[in-house]
Structure 1
């Protein structure tokens, strides 16, 4: 591991304790909370950018053009962030509604990308362990505090899944880092597991 990787591993989220149970008994509360946070973040910035954009058309003042351009890009960007956050929260919700939650420990940090992507491994994997790609439902690019102590996992590892981190209650959507490398595991999973993965939305690789 390089010094740069070590510094990234030290990037830990300062998220306060969740206002809902994080012991695997209330995934509905976690999902609702993440939907709410996504909407609050959107409403904090979207009206401001939208106002900067539309005032050019209302006031018809040419010198407002640079401000309007900033507003236009800001409006599009906040819409993109909202769609992304809602999408990953919905993906986690589908997994939780399909699979039971089970506690998995320990969790090994295996790296981080600048695209707010985390890589981890479950220490209790049988056979040859493989790395999972994790995306935070709200797009945060830091490790949830205490994640190495264990998480509540729902899913089927060759296909992916979702986790709730105890304490902070943060949601992560998981799929194998190297999707093609797990083809044999998925092919041998059988029709029942494959059908279940389809219902959970993890039968195919998600957008990164």
Structure 2
């Protein structure tokens, strides 16, 4: 198998594709929407315009959900602190878990503060924050548990299979919450449905040049992106089409796939 033309463990450079807006510009619209919605929510204290509290709270909830997704669904913005050359199966798993945990702890701390501070101070104009805090923790937990689930699936596969380099990678489509379709190499590998635990809305930079794959094509597996270090778990998109290949795989391969959680279709 031909090795990649760049050093797989290299960690320099911008890990993302395409241009990005500055942080202040990205935050301007949500911040403005939050302020307007908060003002409407305060009409709860009015005897005349109290009905405006409904669109106000809806606006606050919407901004909160968008902000949570932006925070939890971020791609890596730093160089991967582990080997991305296929030699390390545990490092990527540990790092993904640590990143997801840190992000979630921040969500819980902010949400808890939003609930506790207004109730402790008993300041009525701060009471809308109580609702925002509850939504922050509840919805943030839901998003985070989904990420942890896909991370667990990646980790389960990497306990069974070693990495091998596959090139090129053909990108088919990119959907929401880390869903995407891709094809590995040019040797008849099936088109795969992939899920990225980070739930990023972008393709990692230069992923088309090749990835490290751990798994068995007709059953699925996990890819590690060289340089940037993202993991994705995947299975054949047209599962039934490859049923014959799975049946002919042999007892040992089927047993390994079952141990890795790939014997049944679970990724779509």
Name the TM tier (shorter chain): 0.7 to 0.9
Q: Deviations over 1:103-132 (max 9, x none)?
A: 111111111113431111012323xx4211
Which residue number corresponds to residue 155 of structure 2? Answer: 93
Structure 1 segments, 4+ long, off by >6 Å, are: none
Report the equivalent of 1:185.
245
Shift in CA distance, 50/192, structure 1 to aligned 2, threshold 3 Å: same
Checking the alignment, whether the CA contact within 8 Å between 1:22 and 1:165 is kept in structure 2 is yes
Q: Given the alignment, which residue of 133, 136, 139 partners 2:199?
A: 139
What's 1:52 paired with? 114
Aligned to 1:175: 235
Range that drifts further, 69-78 or 56-65: 56-65
- Residue in structure 2 matched with residue 198 of structure 1 by the alignment: 258
Deviation per residue, 1:120-145 (Å, 9 max, x gap): 1012323xx42111111211121111
- Looking at structure 1, the residues matched to 254 and 149 of structure 2 have their Cα atoms a distance apart, in angstroms, of 22
Q: 5 Å matches for 1:37-76?
A: 37-55=99-117, 64-76=126-138
Query: Which secondary structure state, in structure 2, belongs to the residue aligned with residue 21 of structure 1?
Result: coil
Take 2:153 and 2:174, find their aligned partners in 1: how far apart are those partners? 21
Q: Are the aligned partners of 1:130 and 1:176 in contact in 2 as well (CA < 8 Å)? A: yes
Matches within 5 A, 1:105-184: 105-126=167-188, 129-184=189-244
Q: In the aligned structure 2, how far is the partner of 1:182 from the partner of 1:60?
A: 62
SS at 2:214 equivalent: strand
2:208 is paired with a residue whose SS is helix
Moved more, 192-201 or 85-94: 85-94
RCO higher in 1 or 2 (8 Å CA, sep ≥ 6)?
1
Q: CA deviation at 1:91?
A: 1.3
TM-score in terms of structure 2 length: 0.66
CA shift for structure 1 position 64: 4.8
Residue in 2 that maps onto 1:7: none
| CA–CA separation in structure 1 for the residues paired with 2:248 and 2:127 | 59
Q: Which moved more, 1:67-76 or 1:147-156?
A: 67-76
Residues in 2 aligned to 1:87 and 1:125: alpha-carbon distance in whole angstroms? 30
Checking the alignment, whether the CA contact within 8 Å between 1:118 and 1:143 is kept in structure 2 is no
TM-score of the two chains, using structure 1 as the length reference: 0.84
Alignment: residue pair count: 197
Matches within 5 A, 1:9-48: 15-48=77-110
Retained in 1: the 8 A contact 2:193–2:267?
no
Q: Compared with structure 1, are the counterparts of its residues 171 and 188 closer, same or farther at alpha carbon in structure 2 (3 Å cutoff)?
A: same
Which stretches in structure 2 are left out of the alignment for 5+ residues? 1-16, 20-74
SS, match of residue 182 in structure 2: strand
